[in-house]
Amino acid sequence: LELTIGIVGATGVVGQTALDLLADEFTDFKVKKLKLYASRASAGKMVTFCNSKITIEEPNLPSMLECNAILFATEASISTEFIPKLAEHGVLCIDKSSAFRAHPSVPLVVPEVNGHLLNPNELKKFPVVASPNCCTIPLVMVLKPLQDKFGLERVILSTYQSVSGAGKPAIDVLTEETKNFFVNQDLTCGKSEIFPKSIAFNVMPYVAGILDNGDTDEESKIISESRKILNSPKLPLAATSVRVPTFVGHGESVTLELSSKVTASQIKETLSEFPGIQIIDEKSAKDEDLGTYGLFVTPRETHGKDDVFVSRIRNTDVFQNGISLWIVSDNLRKGAALNAIQVINSCAANGTLKALSSK
């Protein structure tokens, strides 16, 4: 299948990651034409993709209507403005923003977890698929196989989120503050437009805005999206989102209660059989054994990797059937761009895009 693919937010870190992935040609579809959209500031710039030059445009309906599928990797307001009109004309829209994640007619999809929701007959009516938050995706990749096999009672987690989750400006802030420390020995806790306090050599128990109930917007997304994807609207789930001074890779420290007693090795076995998960979990390793990852996986090691990695799997007596573990993955790939492109790929493979193009 040859497709015209659009990327809105093409100059952002997720948009750039999507370009890299499409250039790898790992998909079951061929990119016949690529159309790139970004803010006015970037419009007119040229990008080279697979040896052809592409001029970046501002989002505009006439051009976007030429696409078979569009990945929205930008703020919710742009998705809200353009997606309804594009969907009406049969353009498949994969939205990374939160704009449609709670929408009752829009599937919130992680292909390995609930890819069955990508139903051609349903999507023909309203071809919009929401891609979850970059912490929700790795979390449900781990929770789903455990829920299916052992039953899931409750979840408590803390995230360790790299600054790239807040985009290129946040990467620049961490770079500048770190440089400022080493060049000028200055670590004033300066406030930037991106972070309320200095992030270099610091952590912030706080990602996105604070809501009336004391949760942050990020924590609320993780809770509501996980419940929707796992079909568990009442699942007790407590989340604390923490921003850490790393560039790429989101980590999550998770403690959960299962419905039945399970050993750590049963957990390892179940997770290792789930597509897209890699278990790296040694109790000890001599230097030469460390190999690629050894012992456990750190955020930096996930950069550019597609898998969700799980380490530190162990029983805990904090709950009757308690398990604790560490989840870490590249927040720009499986946490965002890869998941969205996998959705397009599934829609190419299951006939959705063919059905839409004949509309």
Residues that bind ligand 2RA (CB under 6 A): 133-135, 161, 165-166, 207, 218
* Residues 6 or more apart in contact with residue 322 via CB below 8 angstroms: 255, 256, 257, 258, 315, 316
Count how many Cα atoms sit within 13 Å of the Cα of residue 305 in the half-sphere of its side chain.
Answer: 22
Alpha-carbon distance of 75 to 99, in angstroms, equals 8
Alpha-carbon distance of 271 to 275, in angstroms, equals 9
Q: Which is nearer to ligand 2RA, 69 or 134 (CB)?
A: 134
Q: How far is the CB of 218 from ligand 2RA (least distance, A)?
A: 6
CB 281 within 8 A of CB 309: no
Q: How far is the CB of 254 from ligand 2RA (least distance, A)?
A: 16
Residue at shortest CB range from ligand 2RA: 165
Instruction: Take residue 23 and report the two structure tokens written for it.
Output: 């250039």
Instruction: Take residue 12 and report the two structure tokens written for it.
Output: 């952002």
Q: How far is the CB of 330 from ligand 2RA (least distance, A)?
A: 12
Q: How far is the CB of 161 from ligand 2RA (least distance, A)?
A: 4
Q: Is 250 a catalytic residue?
A: yes
* Burial grade of 94 (CB within 10 A; 0-12, 13-18, 19 or more): buried
Give residue for tokens 């709950």: 319
Q: Which of 67, 93, 134, 347 is catalytic?
A: 134
Q: How far is the CB of 331 from ligand 2RA (least distance, A)?
A: 6
Strand order in the sheet with 322-329: 237-243, 152-161, 250-258, 322-329, 308-316, 277-279
CB 197 within 8 A of CB 163: no
Q: How far is the CB of 297 from ligand 2RA (least distance, A)?
A: 18
Q: Which is nearer to ligand 2RA, 95 or 281 (CB)?
A: 95
Q: Which is nearer to ligand 2RA, 27 or 342 (CB)?
A: 342
Q: Which H or E element spans position 344?
A: helix 338-349
Q: Which is nearer to ligand 2RA, 16 or 27 (CB)?
A: 16
φ, ψ at 196 (rounded to 5°): -70, -20
Q: Which is nearer to ligand 2RA, 141 or 207 (CB)?
A: 207
Q: Which is nearer to ligand 2RA, 10 or 166 (CB)?
A: 166
Q: Is 134 a catalytic residue?
A: yes
Alpha-carbon distance of 29 to 22, in angstroms, equals 10
Q: Which of 67, 93, 135, 250 is catalytic?
A: 250
Q: How far is the CB of 135 from ligand 2RA (least distance, A)?
A: 6
Q: Which is nearer to ligand 2RA, 165 or 322 (CB)?
A: 165
What are the b/e assignments for 205-233, b being 16+ CB within 10 Å? ebbbeeeeeebbebbbbbbbbbbbbbeee
Closest to 195 (Cα-Cα) out of 217, 168, 173: 173
Catalytic residues: 134, 250
